[in-house]
């Protein structure tokens, strides 16, 4: 995989993911009531930002397994069972509420900060020609998380702070992420992401077969058709599989089978 090709795929995939992330951050800027509501939430969010800066500034940490880095960002969660045990031992009714507040604040902080590192990992995987089995789950999982959070921003609530944002996300999970499915930003980002992953699967992935120019043209046309499909189908259903899954499966299957024939 040439350097020019790698950076082209990086630009396409990053544009798709960054557009969703930017939409979430823009919503937060326009709705500052969901910024940290007290010192406790400020400390939680600040600690996440500090960890992000440390991880990105140290090469050894940047190259570590993503699961280990998630554990690093989730260090606060380990305090929750400790607080539960202390509550049982002392029985003064103060530690369980603290554990709950910690969980609410940490969840939103993680969702706001960790995508930056996740996007860095996606870029690094493309640059080194990672296999599809590693890249696709990582990129699509990040896309799904950002789409979910973006869907949550369409809900209404009287709760403020990071706690309020977490409850918005949970509400979206329990009621179904139907709002983001029809969001133009999600539809366009999904089509762009499909394009990047389809081209990568035939030219950049480890062990990818040779591919002809016709298939590259098809990847662009197919992604445009996938976007059109999403815009039309979202008028009749909010089923995310029909809107996103069906066209992606068809496009990747055609591209892969066509390239195998070559």
Q: Which pLDDT score, from 0 to 100, does residue 128 have?
A: 84
Phi-psi region of 155 (alpha: psi -120 to 50; beta: other; left: phi over 0): beta
User: What pLDDT does 239 receive?
Assistant: 61
pLDDT (tens digit, 0 to 9) for every residue of the chain, 262 residues total? 567 777 888 898 999 999 999 999 999 998 888 889 899 999 999 999 999 999 999 988 888 888 889 989 998 888 888 888 887 887 777 878 888 889 999 999 999 999 999 999 999 988 888 877 788 888 888 988 888 888 888 777 778 899 889 888 887 776 654 545 557 788 788 878 877 887 787 665 555 544 445 555 555 666 667 667 766 776 666 665 566 666 666 766 665 665 555 4
pLDDT at 209: 47
Structural domain boundaries enclosing 123 = 3-261
Check residue 258 and give its pLDDT.
58
Q: Is 156 left (phi over 0), alpha (psi -120 to 50) or beta?
A: beta
Please give the pLDDT value at position 253: 67
Q: Give the CB-side neighbour count of residue 260, counting CA atoms within 13 A.
A: 6
SS3 22: helix
Taking the CB of residue 235, how many other CB atoms lie within 10 A of it? 7
Number of domains in the chain: 1
Region of 160 on the Ramachandran plot (φ > 0 left; ψ -120 to 50 alpha; else beta): beta
């Amino acid at each position: 995989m040439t350097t020019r090709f790698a950076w082209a795929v990086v630009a396409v995939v990053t544009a798709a993911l960054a557009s969703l992330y930017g939409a979430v951050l823009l919503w937060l800027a326009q709705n500052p009531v969901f910024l940290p509501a007290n010192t406790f939430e400020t400390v939680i969010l600040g600690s996440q930002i500090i960890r992000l800066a440390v991880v990105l500034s140290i090469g050894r940490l940047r190259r570590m397994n993503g699961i280990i880095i998630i554990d690093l960002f989730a260090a606060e969660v380990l305090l929750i069972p400790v607080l539960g045990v202390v509550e049982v031992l002392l029985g003064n009714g103060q530690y369980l509420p603290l554990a709950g507040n910690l969980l609410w604040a940490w969840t939103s902080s993680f969702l706001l900060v960790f995508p930056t590192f996740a996007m860095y990992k996606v870029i690094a995987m493309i640059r080194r020609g990672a296999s599809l089995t590693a890249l696709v789950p990582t990129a699509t999982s990040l896309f799904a998380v950002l789409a979910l959070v973006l869907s949550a921003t369409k809900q209404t609530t009287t709760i403020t702070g990071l706690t309020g944002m977490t409850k918005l996300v949970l509400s979206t999970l329990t009621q179904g992420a139907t709002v983001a499915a029809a969001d133009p930003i999600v539809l366009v980002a999904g089509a762009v992401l499909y394009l990047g992953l389809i081209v990568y699967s035939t030219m950049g992935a480890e062990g990818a077969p040779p591919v002809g120019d016709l298939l590259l043209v098809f990847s662009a046309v197919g992604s445009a058709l996938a976007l059109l499909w999403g815009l039309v189908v979202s008028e009749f259903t909010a089923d995310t599989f029909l809107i996103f899954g069906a066209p992606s499966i068809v496009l990747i299957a055609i591209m892969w089978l066509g390239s195998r024939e070559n």
